[in-house]
């Protein structure tokens, strides 16, 4: 019953997390697009009001006229809407999901004893430490290097180096699936902390000064803009890191941290291409698609590098007998999929059950390489290949 309830918690929290993430990413992408497409008005009445940029848009049968004031308008005539619960609810639901799925069973999901031998409690504490330590380091980088000449480049380089080192450390300490997810959660924590610590408090100070009739400090807007831009570049790396745990062939390799870094770099380059395109279009310049081309080329290189080797046409490729597959499954899979412990509702302890779940065994063990979880039963590459050849030959019966 505990496993059943955890599965329900997993499903509902994952559903909530995806919904809130869509809302957050959608609003983030929209405002980045808006900032890069607003045109300084020529109308005297708009300039007199302090409008720095405006545009017209049509959607859903109506017309919209968003306007941006720098640093702040003289007066707000209607209700002021704050965009922050999208961020907070995404992080809270994601952390709850991480707790239910990974921290609750840290010894199973965070620990791979072939990677690093330690206890589940130590791994759980270290995982939480990753989230806190990266935010502290990232925030320090922004507050120190960001104030210097060419600060954006210095911050970008330092943060990129920190992400690379964190990816290497995570993959050296945690199970592959957990390491990829943890790096994504680390970046997502920084994104939400940007909103909580800098963006919203700074905007509240701007509003308070405006309502009090006092001069508005432009530094609040500048800091908020800096962190907002960082968030948009983090978005695609976070998403690919979160999705990766469904693909064991990405997370289980000997140099999986390089795979993770390349995936995130490709996402950041592709995102930059679209961000820069908006500015280029407004200024009448060529869109810098070369960044997206490089990102796609990196993905293509990964496709080639991770491609499975074709089995040699030797005795090893001889027809596979059902008894051979059953022996492998009995040793590597049945310890968790039997009459007493049918994980995920799958039992494999009889020939009939193995035949019934042949496709699932093929997908999980041979194709996606997700099972056994963290390779707890030490299945070999030859054994995965054996299962694959058996299923691809039609899963012949005994």
Look at residue 265 and tell me whether its pLDDT is greater than 90.
yes
Determine how β-strand 51-54 pairs with β-strand 67-69: antiparallel
- Decide which of 290 and 211 is more confident: 290
* 238 bridge partner residues: none
Q: What is the pLDDT of residues 13-56, one digit of tens each?
A: 999 999 999 999 999 999 988 988 888 888 888 888 889 999 99
Q: What is the pLDDT of residues 335-350, one digit of tens each?
A: 889 878 777 778 888 8
The predicted model gives 104-112 an average pLDDT of 90
Distance CA 6, CA 1 (A): 9
Look at residue 330 and tell me whether its pLDDT is greater than 80.
yes
Q: What is the pLDDT of residues 132-182, one digit of tens each?
A: 999 999 999 999 998 777 888 999 999 999 999 999 999 999 999 999 999
- The pTM assigned to this predicted structure is 0.85
> Which tokens belong to 299?
């993905």
Distance CA 384, CA 398 (A): 19
The alpha-helical segments, DSSP class H, found in the chain are 2-35, 44-49, 85-98, 106-109, 120-145, 151-173, 176-193, 200-211, 218-243, 248-251, 256-283, 290-305, 322-332, 351-356, 358-361, 381-392
The predicted model gives 77-89 an average pLDDT of 90
């Amino acid at each position: 019953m505990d496993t059943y309830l955890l599965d329900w918690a997993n499903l509902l929290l994952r559903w909530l997390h995806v919904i809130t993430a869509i809302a957050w990413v959608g609003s983030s992408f929209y405002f980045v697009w808006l900032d890069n497409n607003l045109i300084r008005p020529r109308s005297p009445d708009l300039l007199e009001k302090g409008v720095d940029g405006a545009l017209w848009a049509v959607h859903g049968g109506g017309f919209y006229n968003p306007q941006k004031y720098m640093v702040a308008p003289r007066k707000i005539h209607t209700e002021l809407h704050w965009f922050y619960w999208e961020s907070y609810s995404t992080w809270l639901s994601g952390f709850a999901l991480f707790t239910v799925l990974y921290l609750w069973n840290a010894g199973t999901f965070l620990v791979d004893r072939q990677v690093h031998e330690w206890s589940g409690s130590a791994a759980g504490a270290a995982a939480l430490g990753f989230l806190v330590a990266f935010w502290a380091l990232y925030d320090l980088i922004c507050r120190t290097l960001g104030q210097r000449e060419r600060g954006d480049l210095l911050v970008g380089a330092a943060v990129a180096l920190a992400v690379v080192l964190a990816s290497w450390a995570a993959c050296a300490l945690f199970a592959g699936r957990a390491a990829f997810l943890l790096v994504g959660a680390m970046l997502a924590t920084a994104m939400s902390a940007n909103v909580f610590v800098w963006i919203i408090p700074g905007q509240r100070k701007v509003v308070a000064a405006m309502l009090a009739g006092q001069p508005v400090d432009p530094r609040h807007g500048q800091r908020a803009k800096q962190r907002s831009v960082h968030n948009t570049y983090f978005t695609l790396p976070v998403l690919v890191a979160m999705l990766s745990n469904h693909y064991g062939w990405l997370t289980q390799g000997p140099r999986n941290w390089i795979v993770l870094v390349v995936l995130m770099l490709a996402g950041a380059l592709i995102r930059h291409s679209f961000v820069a395109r908006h500015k280029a279009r407004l200024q009448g310049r060529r869109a810098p698609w070369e960044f997206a081309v490089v990102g796609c080329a990196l993905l293509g290189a990964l496709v080639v590098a991770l491609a499975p080797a074709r089995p040699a046409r030797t005795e090893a490729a001889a027809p596979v007998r059902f008894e051979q597959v059953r022996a492998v499954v009995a040793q590597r899979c049945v310890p968790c999929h039997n009459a007493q412990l049918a994980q995920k509702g799958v039992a494999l302890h009889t020939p009939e059950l193995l035949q019934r779940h042949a496709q699932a065994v093929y997908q999980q063990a041979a194709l996606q390489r997700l099972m056994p979880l963290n390779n707890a039963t030490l299945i070999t590459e030859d054994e995965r290949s054996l299962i694959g050849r058996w299923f691809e030959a039609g899963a012949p019966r005994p």
